[in-house]
Amino acid sequence: MSFYDKDLKLIRKKFESRNDRIPEQIRLGNHFVDDFIFGDSEAADIPINALRVIFNIIIIIANEQFRPEDRPKQLYLFDEEFETDNNIFACIKIRNNKISPSGSTKQVIDAYEFLTRFKMGWYKSMNSKGREIKTFGGLISSPSYDERGYTTFLISSYWLKKLLVIPEYNYILYNLVYNIRNNKHVIFAIWLAKIPDHGTTVRLSTLNKKFGLNYKSANDFCFKFLKPAKTSLHNFNNLSFNFKYANDLISIIPYQIRLPADQTRVVKDSVKQSDITNRLRYLRKRYNLLDQEMQQFEYQYKMIPQTREMIERAFSEFKRTSRAGKEKTTDYEGIKFLYKIQELIIKLYRETKMGKLLPNGYPVIM
């Protein structure tokens, strides 16, 4: 039994988001992906809200990420700050609506509980002086809800180093965890970013094991898993893929999707930014939407023309049904208004060809 007290935690640094700017992409280190997401060559079944926690941790620490080859002194400073003793942690605070834009307390709690328990144990690393450093915990420890609207938690030096020190990394679009609801599709996108540009060929049994699936044939794997995943990535990612199979060998070949600067699909958009701003201002005022309620809704409306069109169709349907039911649209305010629009978006989306193929691929505005 270890002599180290796993309950004794030394907190060396506090990280906190300094603004609400929504980033386009994050840098996800390969060491973290290999050890945490694909441990033992199998993808962990990490829920989508827990993936949002991971993505937001990376956003908050992004300014301190570095490649040791480029900044060797920074690695020394990290060791001096975090690897001089056992059980050293950093403290991080994240807004709850970043994890559950719908405001579900249960979703937030479940996400943090998963990351607290998953891979919980003792971890060892060697600092630059050759000393073994030990820490205990999962990716996060001791989540607390002391401040309304936020969760504060600890992250050990072991996992923090894998997120901060990134000799090899890939860019992943931040909004994948909001635009794609299927966690396996997001995890597949993370894996896809790591494979060579010319693609890879893998046996069905290996892919089943890697993604926690149990398809009996390559045909089933391709058309029941890969085809819906490709649809998700083609709509919401800057990297998609083609696939083919022969017997039990499946080939996956990634390809870039050309995106404009805002990292959305190239769609002709004739709406002026001033008109978009005025429209959002009108909706905010008329339906008493708070800043935190507007965050995801505003991003989707501003940045993704297809979603803006869907929102406007849902809004027109909302006005029509309200009139038919002799209700005022202003009876719905704040989050109640967004719930109603989201409900109509789901209905309209599932009537489309894409909705019939991928029923849960609808835009999420809250």
User: For residue range 213-224, what is the model confidence (pLDDT) as tens digits?
Assistant: 999 999 999 999
- Whether the per-residue pLDDT at 262 is higher than 50: the answer is no
- Whether the per-residue pLDDT at 6 is higher than 50: the answer is no
**What integer pLDDT is reported at residue 82 of this predicted model?**
67
Of 353 and 168, the structure prediction assigns the larger pLDDT to 168
Instruction: Report the distance separating Cα 110 and Cα 133, nearest Å.
Output: 30
Specify the pTM: 0.69
Of 97 and 262, the structure prediction assigns the larger pLDDT to 97
E-strand spans in 120-220? 121-126, 132-137, 141-144, 150-156, 169-173, 200-203
- Whether the per-residue pLDDT at 297 is higher than 70: the answer is yes
- Whether the per-residue pLDDT at 141 is higher than 90: the answer is no
**What integer pLDDT is reported at residue 272 of this predicted model?**
65
Question: Positive or negative CA dihedral for 335, 336, 341, 346?
Answer: positive
Average pLDDT over residues 322-336: 87
- Whether the per-residue pLDDT at 107 is higher than 50: the answer is yes
- Whether the per-residue pLDDT at 327 is higher than 60: the answer is yes
Instruction: Report the distance separating Cα 366 and Cα 355, nearest Å.
Output: 19
- Whether the per-residue pLDDT at 264 is higher than 50: the answer is no
**What integer pLDDT is reported at residue 21 of this predicted model?**
66
Residue 275 structure tokens: 């008109």
Q: Determine contact, residues 236/179, Cβ cutoff 8 Å.
A: yes
**Mean pLDDT across the chain, nearest whole number?**
83
Confidence class for position 129, pLDDT limits 50, 70, 90: low
Instruction: Report the distance separating Cα 112 and Cα 92, nearest Å.
Output: 12
Average pLDDT over residues 170-185: 92
Q: 3-class DSSP state for residue 35? A: helix
Average pLDDT over residues 301-325: 85
Q: Determine contact, residues 311/345, Cβ cutoff 8 Å.
A: yes
- Whether the per-residue pLDDT at 160 is higher than 80: the answer is yes
Instruction: Report the distance separating Cα 6 and Cα 2, nearest Å.
Output: 9
The mean-pLDDT minimum among 130-139, 193-202, 224-233 falls in 130-139
Q: Determine contact, residues 193/34, Cβ cutoff 8 Å.
A: no
Confidence class for position 258, pLDDT limits 50, 70, 90: low
Q: 341 to each of 160, 227, 288, 302, 311, how far by Cα in Å?
A: 39, 29, 14, 16, 7
Average pLDDT over residues 258-285: 64
- Whether the per-residue pLDDT at 263 is higher than 50: the answer is no
**What integer pLDDT is reported at residue 182 of this predicted model?**
92
- Whether the per-residue pLDDT at 267 is higher than 60: the answer is no
Confidence class for position 260, pLDDT limits 50, 70, 90: very low
| CB neighbours of residue 176 within 10 Å | 23
Question: Considering only CA atoms, which of 17, 49, 21 is closest in space to residue 303?
Answer: 21
Kindly state the percentage of the chain with pLDDT values over 90. Answer: 32
Work out whether strand 10-16 and strand 88-95 pair parallel, antiparallel, or are unpaired: parallel
**What integer pLDDT is reported at residue 322 of this predicted model?**
87
Q: 3-class DSSP state for residue 28? A: strand
- Whether the per-residue pLDDT at 23 is higher than 90: the answer is no
Tens of pLDDT, residue by residue over 50-97, are 999 999 999 998 888 888 777 777 777 776 666 666 777 888 999 898
> What are the residue ranges spanned by the domains of the chain?
10-176, 195-256, 273-357
- Give the type of residue at 111: A
- Whether the per-residue pLDDT at 199 is higher than 70: the answer is yes
Q: 3-class DSSP state for residue 227? A: helix
**What integer pLDDT is reported at residue 243 of this predicted model?**
93
- Whether the per-residue pLDDT at 22 is higher than 90: the answer is no
Instruction: Report the distance separating Cα 311 and Cα 294, nearest Å.
Output: 13
Confidence class for position 5, pLDDT limits 50, 70, 90: very low
**What integer pLDDT is reported at residue 358 of this predicted model?**
65
Q: Determine contact, residues 258/267, Cβ cutoff 8 Å.
A: no
The mean-pLDDT minimum among 14-23, 264-273, 357-366 falls in 264-273
Instruction: Report the distance separating Cα 327 and Cα 243, nearest Å.
Output: 51
Say if residue 60 is exposed, middle or buried (CB neighbours under 10 Å; 0-12, 13-18, 19+).
middle
